[in-house]
Amino acid sequence: MRHRKNVCAATLVGALAIGIGACGGSGGDAVVMRVGSHAITKATVDHWASVVRRGGAFTAFRGEPVEGTPRTRAVALLITSEWLIGEAEREGLPISEQAIQDALAERTRGEAGAEFRKRLLATGQTVAGFELELRAELALEAVRRELERRSRITPAQVAAFYQSNRSAFAEVPEARVVDIIERLPSAPAATALVKRIGSGKRFTRLAYHKRIVLSSGVLNGPASKKAVDYAIFAARPGVVSRPMRLSNGWAVFVVRKIVPARGQSFAKAHDAVAASLEEERKREVEDAFKREFRSGWTARTSCAVGYVAPGCVQYHGRLGAHEDPFFEG
């Protein structure tokens, strides 16, 4: 007997390299999946496959189920549940038995309780099975709350961002008053005209007078017009531009006046600054978490031949909404 145990132990050590140990037996107690330190047996997968086949898995929060056999869907469901429960524990947010019982009581109160019992009977689901899904759902909520906490920003961060980016929160954007001569037949003709009239009063008499505001709209339109607009906001006042091509010919211009932007006060800009910072911080936190969550748990999830499904390290496809609770489509 001791020899058999030693053989099993050695086998399990070797099996960890491929994820599945063979010492659980060959029947229902055979281990067919490992998620972290948790072993899942053939009997457990078979039960969930039967429940899935009869529509008894309460999986609304997971998105649409994966395509495939009931076994594949059951494996994916069990993997996701283990990932969420394990992640909540890793974050120091374990779901208590009291929280499970409170959630169960809430969802089976009154008429809902009778419907719940009917569904269990019709699908072969157990209360323990439903509690597993509840635990996973509560774990997902706990992890999401933790991500929200990490994404919060402080008043000091808002103030510092405002001071460093005041020009981005202009109440009145920068404007430039320009004299522009258009419809010239060629670049040499434009150059010759400028040599003849100079940049002063004679130029102004021949020019159109425009006030252009620096905004997102001013730099839209045809490429030639955008090039002129960019040049206007890069030009030095009082200096005639080089000839520039427009759709109706060539043009030259002189910037006569720069009207500086008038910035918003911190009080007025506060909400916009905070929203911008929060959005950026939330994206950074969530992106980093999702990469670590998916890669870390996939690496710790191994499935035997015949039980490979999304989430297993042996699976090479993408995870969808049903298998990845943080899936965004």
Question: Residue 60: its pLDDT value, please?
Answer: 56
d(CA 170, CA 176): 15
Give this prediction's pTM. Answer: 0.63
Q: Is residue 315 part of a domain?
A: no
210 and 125 in a single domain? The answer is no
Which tokens hold the place of 81?
């549940």
Whether residue 146 is found in the same domain as residue 58: yes
pLDDT of 11 over the 70 cut: no
Residue 173: pLDDT band (50, 70, 90) is confident
- Per-residue pLDDT band at 299 (split at 50, 70, 90): very high
Q: Say which residue, 267 or 226, is predicted with more confidence.
A: 267
Token pair in block for residue 66: 């994966």
Q: Is residue 86 part of a domain?
A: yes
pLDDT band for position 26 (cuts 50, 70, 90): low
Residue 325 lies in a domain: no
322 or 178, which is more confident? 178
The answer to whether residue 317 is domain-embedded is no
Identify the domain containing residue 108 by its residue range: 2-152+286-303
Residue 147 within a domain: yes
Q: Is the pLDDT of residue 8 over 60?
A: no
Residues 64 and 185 in one domain: no
* Same domain? 108 vs 180: no
The verdict on 250 and 130 lying in the same domain is: no
106 φ, ψ (degrees, to nearest 5): -65, -40
Find the CATH number of the domain harbouring 250. 3.10.50.40
What is the per-residue pLDDT across 241-273, written as a single tens digit (0 to 9) for each?
999 998 889 999 999 999 887 778 888 888 888
Per-residue pLDDT of 125-148, as tens digits, reads: 899 999 998 999 999 999 999 999
Q: Report CA torsion sign: 242, 248, 254, 259.
A: negative
Residues 202 and 93 grouped into a single domain:
no
147 near 289, Cβ under 8 Å? yes
Domain identity same for 116 and 222: no
Could you tell me where the beta strands, DSSP code E, fall in the chain? 31-35, 38-41, 170-172, 175-184, 208-213, 244-246, 249-259, 262-263, 301-303
Whether 128 and 183 map to the same domain: the answer is no
The Cα 202–Cα 195 span in angstroms is: 11
The more confidently predicted of residues 17 and 260 is: 260
The tokens for 297 are 């748990």
- The answer, yes or no, to whether residue 301 has pLDDT greater than 80, is yes
Q: Are 221 and 85 in a shared domain?
A: no
What's the CATH code of the domain at 76? 1.10.4030
Residue 12 lies in a domain: yes
Do 144 and 178 sit in the same domain of this protein?
A: no
Instruction: Tell which wins on pLDDT, 259 or 24.
Output: 259
In a shared domain, residues 20 and 87: yes
Helices 70-90/266-299 angle, 10° precision: 120
230/237 Cα distance (integer angstroms): 14
CA 95, 98, 102, 107 dihedral sign is positive
Number of domains, the chain:
2
Q: Kindly calculate the radius of gyration of the chain based on its CA atoms and give it in whole angstroms.
A: 33
Identify which has the larger pLDDT, 214 or 286. Answer: 286
Residue 201 scores a pLDDT above 50: yes
Distance CA 228, CA 324 (A): 49
pLDDT band at 40 (very low <50, low <70, confident <90, very high): very high
Q: How far apart are CA 329 and CA 321, in angstroms?
A: 7
The answer on pLDDT for 89 being more than 70 is yes
Inside any domain, residue 266: no
Confidence of residue 38 (pLDDT cuts 50, 70, 90): very high
Q: What does DSSP assign to residue 240?
A: B
> Measured between alpha carbons, how far is 255 from 233 in angstroms, rounded to an integer?
9
Q: Identify whether residues 228 and 178 lie together within a single domain.
A: yes
Query: Which strands form 38-41's sheet, in the order they lie side by side?
Result: 38-41, 31-35, 301-303
Identify the CA nearest to 130 among candidates 120, 121, 122.
Answer: 120
Give φ, ψ of 172 to 5 degrees. Answer: -125, 115
Is 184 inside any structural domain? yes
